[in-house]
Chain A
Amino acid sequence: MKYFDEYRDKRLCQSIIERMKELTTEDINIMEVCGTHTMSIFRSGIKDLLPENIHLISGPGCPVCVTPISDINHMIALARMDRAIIATFGDMINVPGSSSSLKREKADGADVRVIYSPLQALEIAREFPQRQIILVGIGFETTIPLLASIVLEAKKKAITNFYLLSLTKLMPPIIRALLQSQEVKIDGMLCPGHVSTIIGAKPYQFIPDCYHIACVIAGFEPIDILIAIYHLILQKIKGIPQVENKYRRAVREEGNLIALNLITQVFSTVDSEWRGIGIVADSGLDLKSEYSDLNARNFLVKVETTKENNQCRCGDVLRGVATPLQCPLFQKLCTPEHPVGACMVSSEGVCAAYYKYSSV
């Protein structure tokens, strides 16, 4: 497809990597905070092609992975309601809760349906007016406007059997929390291109301003990622951190104002729990009170107590503190067929990426 295929040119990839080698021999740590970046980096082999002093660290960029077990237990409890239909994106059904998963509930008779678009949840609601349709609303800023649009449509069309369980997460607050924690030395932040199509470039300004860390918004083709890494290194060695947009064909400085307005119309910020990280202030969204009749949190259900496998290092992996190779369960007890932690379940999870693409 035009505007994308030309960003896969092998010669240009090699040239950018050669130029990187000329820049510095200093160790530089770059974090990507988008699961789609993680997969693109692994799929294209970028991690192995970079100079040895450039280290890529994966952060909490996979929405399925960052959803805590307490929320998995909540969706399982909702799935057990008599007339409920759970509509969810695919990976979520495999994530283990304390003692079950949506997939296991489905096998036991619960009505759990995998959807590609949140629009399908409304279609199911129209088709089954006697049932309660609960959309599991996970995602970052890329997906949140879609959920807002669905909520408004349900209101407008007076669809009264549609509910949203909002588990949405916001990118800038979690980046701030990671940088504040100083657990990992980060020299550059590879900012998520598709989240940025919605929020624009400004929300990242605190990264260079407050933390003096380089920041580049990147697309998802190999050249998009390599040129972004090249500029992160340049910013670092020049000592002039700033927010650079290297995905200008898709990201405008101001983002998508219509999408941003939809978000603020429907949602308000709340403190939100992230797997392995804990509760981060104002890092999630829930429905505003005027939409409370659509809020699936209002169903009174018995949610199981959180139980985690204490050997699983998903939390450390999500914070960039450990790689999957440092987890005792990786490739042994935890595989894509039998995942223990969410990072192995999701197709965008770091453990799944290591399992699929790493030669170790």
Chain B
Amino acid sequence: MCLAIPGKIIKKINCEEAEVLLGNIKKSVRIDLLPEIEEGDYVLIHAGYAITKINSREANEINQIWEEIQS
């Protein structure tokens, strides 16, 4: 129920709506909850709404896990 899937914003249509790429599928989603998002951002989408922006500054989270586990 709290399932959210990642997508990439490819076009901001207006303040409420954007076009996202979900795998190979283009879909329109609501962006009311994330008005600051921009084209190229990655977001998590839940039931037709973008609910959070993927923080690219934290993209190295996975590298930190590798380092922590292999140390």
A and B part of one assembly: yes
User: Chain A: residues with CB nearer than 8 A to chain B?
Assistant: 1-4, 6-7, 12, 15-16, 19, 34-36, 62-64, 89, 91, 116-119, 138-140, 142-143, 145-146, 149, 192, 194-195, 197-198, 223, 227, 230, 248-252, 256, 258-259, 262, 346, 348
Cβ contact within 8 Å between B58 and A227 = no
Can you name the residue of chain B whose Cβ is closest to the Cβ of A250? B52
Which residue on A lies nearest to B66, using beta carbons?
A12
12 contacts between A and B (CB under 8 A): A1-B8, A2-B6, A2-B8, A36-B3, A62-B1, A117-B49, A119-B48, A142-B2, A146-B49, A248-B61, A256-B51, A258-B34
Pair A249/B54 contact, Cβ less than 8 Å: yes
Contact B65 A12 (CB under 8 A): yes
Are B49 and A256 within 8 A (Cβ)?
A: no
Closest-CB distance, B66 to chain A (whole angstroms): 6
Residues of A within 8 A of B42 (CB): 1-3
* Contact between B48 and A259, CB atoms less than 8 A apart: no
Q: How far is the CA of A204 from the CA of B20 in the complex (A)?
A: 32
State A348–B44 Cα separation when bound (angstroms): 19
What residues of chain B have their CB less than 8 Å away from a CB belonging to chain A? Answer: 1-4, 6-8, 23, 30, 32-35, 42, 44, 46-49, 51-52, 54-55, 58-59, 61-62, 65-66, 68-70
Given A62-B1, A140-B1, A197-B52 in contact, is the A262-B33 Cβ separation under 8 Å? yes
Nearest-CB distance from B47 to chain A (Å)?
5
For chain B, what secondary structure do more than half of its interface residues adopt (helix, strand, loop), or is it mixed? mixed
Given the interface contacts A192-B2, A249-B55, does A149 sit within 8 Å of B32 by beta carbon?
Answer: yes
Residues of A within 8 A of B23 (CB): 1
Q: Quick one: closest B residue to A249, CB to CB?
A: B58
17 further A-B contacts with Cβ under 8 Å, apart from A1-B8, A3-B59, are A12-B69, A35-B1, A36-B3, A140-B1, A142-B4, A143-B47, A146-B46, A146-B48, A194-B3, A194-B51, A227-B69, A248-B58, A248-B61, A249-B55, A249-B59, A256-B34, A262-B33
Known: A248-B55, A258-B35. A7 touches B62 (CB 8 A): yes
- Nearest residue (CB) in B for A194 is B2
Q: Which residues of B contact A198 (CB under 8 A)?
A: 51-52
B68 vs chain A, min Cβ distance (A): 8
Q: Which residue in chain A gives the minimum CB-CB distance to B3? A: A36
B42 to chain A, nearest CB (A): 6
